Structure 1
């Protein structure tokens, strides 16, 4: 695409247009936007489990809605970390049990089954994030 002066345009007008385009590119090139997801208490109570356990919970949630969420509640008692550090372990455990009950009770109308599958996918995503962050920490401690 030719950005040079066209017939009837002056060279000064073309140079001003090029300068404006350059300034717009420079101002938009350095902008960093950070987005943070705000999680509700039930979503924040999903534990960061080891990857194989998260995959098993996803499998259980896919075929028996709420069962994988129920199993994940016990990983909280075994020391799995959550996004609710200020809450007591028993409170987080009961939040996971409540999520499992909601999934089981609403599975009749398919809402709980869909919620259960998404819950299991979130468990796998969180486990994957945990494995990447712990791998980076191990790598930096070796250097």
Structure 2
């Protein structure tokens, strides 16, 4: 679980290192802006922007009941962030599984990606799709509505 917070923590530390000299010179606005920028980067690359992750087994069970896709992701992945923000409110209609928190999920992803943990990997009706665009996932969700 700590691995998920490594990148956000580094963004916060970098923000402090960059902004501190600026603040000490008396440039409060510039230093404040730098801190805010690094804080936003930390939040965007954290698990906080994703809906609550499920275990792989639970996500598969729920997907079988409601037909919603299962997205395997990991914190800090720019393609996962693109998918998450591209889905907007529809992200709540997808079952999210963090492969760094679930060894079974990581094994599922490796099984369909030639041994690689390539994310996002989206399962729709049990079929895997690697790094689909947000529009493609929204289209699959619209078919379920």
Is the shorter-chain TM-score for this pair beyond 0.5, marking a shared fold? Answer: no
Task: Return the structure number with greater relative CO, CA threshold 8 A, min gap 6.
Answer: 1
Question: When you count strand as a share of all residues, which structure comes out higher?
Answer: 2
Which structure: greater helix fraction? 1
Work out which of the two has the higher radius of gyration on C-alpha atoms and give 1 or 2.
Answer: 1
- Bin for the TM-score computed over the shorter chain: under 0.3
